[in-house]
Amino acid sequence: MLFLSCNLNNERRTVAKADTLRYRYQHYILSSKEVVDNDGKKDTTYFKAIFPEFEQKEINDLIKRQFTANRQPDTQYNSIEQEAKAFIENYEDFVKMDEYPRAWYSEMHAKVLQNKPSFLSLSLELSDYTGGAHGNYNTLFYNYDPLKVDTIGLEKIIPVEKQQSLTKIAEVIFRKQEGLSTEQALDESYFFEDNRFHLNNNFTLTPKGLLFLYNVYEIKPYAAGITELMIPYEQIDSLMTEEGKHIRTQLRQNITTN
């Protein structure tokens, strides 16, 4: 097995304000010792991860726990390294029984999207192949309060009692974006049950608005890819909590990362 852990050459550090978080990207890869030959092309299975390493340990621990929990919800791993080892071991057990073995891969690329004094957001891009016609991929958003070292759920931005109003606004935007009339059914070409539009929990805050992302197979077939839905702040200002408005203000200020 091959293990490599190093800093990327193009490190990205926060430089705008002292109260934003400092970090650098780390690169980790673990490869299988099993080499397969497909039509004369030799290949091997690997697990690859690129992720930010924060100077603040509490933030690091919180983020990494979520990464491993969401990638494999049925299995609890204590670290990315532990998950990588399990992936390689599963492959090496499987390949011994596979008549036509193919190499697998699993990649994760975590990116810092926003790094503000009271708001940190990341995207986790995942892709993998474990046999079959094609691989799979998805993107997950993570939102944090760095001051409280805690996650930020939708209820902290839009109160639960106002989320039905948010959904109604979002549906109007979605139908316009998809070229649908107000009467057109959503359970014919989309995977909305009982013809009812719904928002998922995969969201983040941007300078422009509240961004939701539906991954493949979530509301459309695989071939249709992902679907992003941006809800401008101007349309939901009256629904937002004070915490949500505070984050919005910070996002619109010129506090940047390089």
Cα separation, 103 vs 209, in Å, equals 41
Q: Which CATH superfamily is domain 2-151 in?
A: Fervidobacterium nodosum Rt17-B1 like (3.30.565.40)
Task: State the pTM of this model.
Answer: 0.87
Per-residue pLDDT of the chain (258 residues; tens, 9 = 90+): 343 444 433 444 433 354 689 999 999 999 999 998 877 788 999 999 999 999 999 999 999 888 876 555 667 788 889 999 999 999 999 988 887 888 999 999 999 999 999 999 999 999 999 988 889 999 999 999 999 999 999 999 999 999 999 999 999 999 999 999 999 999 888 999 989 999 999 999 999 999 999 999 999 999 999 999 999 999 999 999 999 999 999 999 864 443
Q: How far apart are CA 106 and CA 72, in angstroms?
A: 12
What are the boundaries of each domain within the chain? Answer: 2-151, 158-240
Q: For residues 90 and 84, what is the distance between their CA atoms, to the nearest angstrom?
A: 10
CATH 3.90.640.20 assigned to 158-240: yes
Report the alpha-carbon distance of residue 216 to residue 200 in Å, rounded: 13
Give alpha helix (H) positions in the chain: 57-71, 80-95, 163-178, 233-236, 242-252
In order of 159, 199, 217, the CA distances from 220 in angstroms are 28, 14, 5
Angle between helices 80-95 and 57-71 (to 10 degrees): 30
